């Protein structure tokens, strides 16, 4: 009868069987090689460019802090949306392979809430930040700031939140009052800074 290799043996410890010492040593060696291969010595990866860092770290606050220069109208947003967004979200934001963006007002307290920009999102600036970072889905961060302002204006107009004549920019966007602005609770933890606390 052939004996199993040392790496495949199991050692009985009490009532449990544990892998043999050789197997543990082999697993540690694989982990060490993996960690070593990720070090700069092997030239894997590269440092991010300043532009890449800017995109990652440019979170837009609810009060609009961090919004860039630029502006957009509902009419311009309709054009950008048709080219960049409608293939996933439908021509009027009703959803397709992408999420529905319009409707749902008054449904959040029902058994079947419809969470959309118009019914759920508390701040218009959050919409700007999300579109800027993540859309279009297949080419995130493709849109210029003015195009993002325009798409946001169009989506807000589709939801009846702003009228057709409004221009969205760093000054006007934070002033938009979203329907669900007061629908979220304040974090009560004492270590979380609160405005006005």
Q: What is the 3-state secondary structure (H, E, C) of 102-161?
A: CCCCCCCCCCCCCCCCCCCCCCHHHHHHHHHHHCCCCCCCCCCHHHHHHHHHHHHHHCCC
Q: In the structure, what pLDDT confidence band is assigned to residue 185 with cuts at 50, 70 and 90?
A: confident
In the block, which residue shows the tokens 């990652």? 56
- Both tokens of 80, joined, read 């950008």
Residue ranges of domains in the chain: 6-41, 50-175
In the block, which residue shows the tokens 């993540």? 134
pTM here is: 0.69
What pLDDT digit, counting tens, does each position of 22-52 carry? 666 666 666 666 655 555 666 777 887 877 7
What pLDDT digit, counting tens, does each position of 186-196 carry? 888 888 877 65
Structural fold of domain 50-175: Cytochrome Bc1 Complex; Chain D, domain 2 (1.10.760)
How many residues are recorded in the chain? 197
Q: Cα separation of 42 and 20, whole Å?
A: 32
Q: Which residue has the higher pLDDT, 178 or 11?
A: 178
């Amino acid at each position: 009868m052939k004996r199993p290799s040392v790496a495949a043996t199991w050692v009985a410890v009490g009532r449990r069987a544990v892998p043999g010492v050789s197997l543990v040593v082999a697993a540690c060696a694989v982990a060490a090689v993996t960690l070593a291969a990720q070090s700069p010595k092997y030239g894997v990866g590269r440092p991010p460019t300043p532009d890449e860092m800017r995109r990652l770290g440019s979170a837009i606050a609810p009060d609009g802090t961090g919004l860039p220069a630029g502006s957009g109208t509902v009419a311009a947003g309709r054009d950008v949306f048709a080219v960049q967004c409608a293939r996933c979200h439908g021509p009027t934001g009703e959803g397709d392979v992408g999420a529905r963006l319009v409707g749902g007002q008054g449904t959040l307290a029902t058994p079947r809430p419809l969470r959309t920009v118009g019914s759920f999102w508390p701040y218009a600036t959050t919409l700007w930040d999300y579109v800027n970072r993540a859309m279009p889905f297949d080419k995130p961060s493709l849109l210029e700031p003015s195009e993002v302002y325009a798409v946001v204006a169009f989506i807000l107009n589709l939801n009846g939140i702003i009228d057709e004549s409004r221009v969205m920019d760093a000054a006007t966007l934070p002033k938009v009052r979203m329907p669900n602005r007061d629908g979220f609770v304040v974090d009560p933890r004492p270590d979380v800074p609160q405005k006005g606390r």
